[in-house]
Structure 1
Amino acid sequence: MRRRAEFLKLFDSPNKISAKGFLIVWQMNALNTPRLGITVSKKVGCAVVRNRIKRSTREVFRMNRHQLPLVDLNVIARRESALMDFASIKWELEKAFRHIGASTCSKELFSS
């Protein structure tokens, strides 16, 4: 996802999953592939830190793309993500990706 309108469309989505260091907002799409958007504000860290988080997030998405349903998702990094290494980022995002498209009952189990 690259256009501002696509991100704004996701902003109102009720489908949100919180993971350590990240908030993932997603919505089903009519395309034949899942799409990724990444939001890392300047509050998270300097450009080097923000770019490292974006690269890591893209790589985790690439490794798990085939397991995701057809969704648009926006991974929003929180300040806590700046202190995480790649293994921690991978663990948290993969855990969250497993619950995308799941029923509401399983989301409640995930958040506890």
Structure 2
Amino acid sequence: MQPSNTCGRAERRLFPKSARLRKRFEFLRLLDSPHKFATKGFLVVWQENDGGQARLGVTVSKKVGCAVVRNRIKRYTRETFRQVRLLLPCVDLNVVARRESAAMDFGAVRRELEKAFRHIGTSPCSSALRSS
């Protein structure tokens, strides 16, 4: 169902700066996190935050591929997160791409990340976050 003020346009799902991990210390804080979920193409590391929303960081090493491939993976990851971020608990996420992700199309990347995001949504730490 669409709100009446959108004039038939789809609901806007933005990816504001407040929903991104941007500083080095934010990524380093996630290194010690015990919460990890691995898929074929990605490793997702997360930790609770007090910011009131899910935040995303993407790490793609040069070992994954050339700049075109790395940028494509980052675009696909951000787009998938943008579409589901309101359904996620208040966590900081770092999605680390593996070499296998270089050959994936958008549909495959989306399936892999949604599997990880579903796991995060059902993890024990997220149930405490949703109740508050």
Alpha-carbon distance in structure 1 between the residues aligned to 2:106 and 2:123: 29
Alpha-carbon distance in structure 2 between the residues aligned to 1:81 and 1:103: 24
Q: Which amino acid aligns with 1:37?
A: G
Residue 83 of structure 1 pairs with residue 96 of structure 2:
no
Match of residue 89, structure 2, among 69, 73, 81: 69
Partner of 1:22: 42
Partner of 1:33: 53
Match of 1:32, SS state, is: coil
Alpha-carbon distance in structure 2 between the residues aligned to 1:99 and 1:91: 12
What TM-score comes out, normalization by structure 2 length?
0.77
> 1:79: how far off?
0.2
> 1:101: how far off?
4.4
Aligned length: 104
Residue 2 of structure 1 pairs with residue 17 of structure 2:
no
Partner of 2:17: none
Of the two, which has the highest radius of gyration?
2
Structure 1 segments of 4+ aligned residues over 2 angstroms from their partners: 101-104
C-alpha RMSD over aligned residues: 1.0
What TM-score comes out, normalization by structure 1 length?
0.90
Alpha-carbon distance in structure 2 between the residues aligned to 1:67 and 1:26: 15
Identical aligned pairs, as a percentage?
A: 68
